[in-house]
Amino acid sequence: MTVATSTRTTIDTSGRHYVIATDGSCNPNPGTGGWGVVIQLREGDEVLKQRALAGQGEVMISTNNKMEMTAPIMGLARLIELSTPVLVLCDSTYVINGITTWLPGWKANNWKRKAGPVENQDLWQRLDTACDGRTIEWRKVKGHAGHKLNEMADILAGNASAGKYPRGELSVKKLHPNWFI
């Protein structure tokens, strides 16, 4: 069941579920972009597994919005248990509003808005596909406010945009070994 476009969706976090914290960075904006994701598999409050992922954008010149969207796409793509519910934590109002509110209208209007074509349509389509068949709760968190997983994702995204992870996950593990369980 796809529930990514419902703001009322609440998953049961007392059982087995994933928590994905995502962030994107682009400094300057536009400029070299990076994304970061922390994935936890939990049983209730107990963290069973945790990994951290980061990467640069597919093109060297990107935007912050593109990196904010790329992070959940990449995080959802790494989930092994496809039927396990997912809580996505994101500090981007653009991503949260897009996936929970605007996406159904865009699709119904053939990816057009009153002001013209939907920006980043390719990424919205990839994110929509990544959500297909999953039970997902999208939760907005305040950035730079001490939320541990969001802060980790922010560090990953910033470092990725600065090119600090040239070997991908191997570089992330070397710089942040305690972020892997």
Q: Is residue 8 part of a domain?
A: no
Q: Is residue 48 part of a domain?
A: yes
CA–CA separation, 176 and 157 (whole Å) = 13
| pLDDT at position 59 over 60 | no
Q: Is residue 175 part of a domain?
A: yes
Domain carrying residue 104: 16-179
The per-residue pLDDT for range 105-158, each reduced to its tens digit, is 999 999 998 889 999 999 999 999 999 999 999 999 998 888 999 999 999 999
**Alpha-carbon Rg for the chain in angstroms:** 16
Number of domains in the chain: 1
The CATH number of the domain holding residue 53 is: 3.30.420.10
Active site residues: 23-24, 68, 91, 144, 154
Q: Is residue 169 part of a domain?
A: yes
- The predicted structure's pLDDT at residue 57: 64
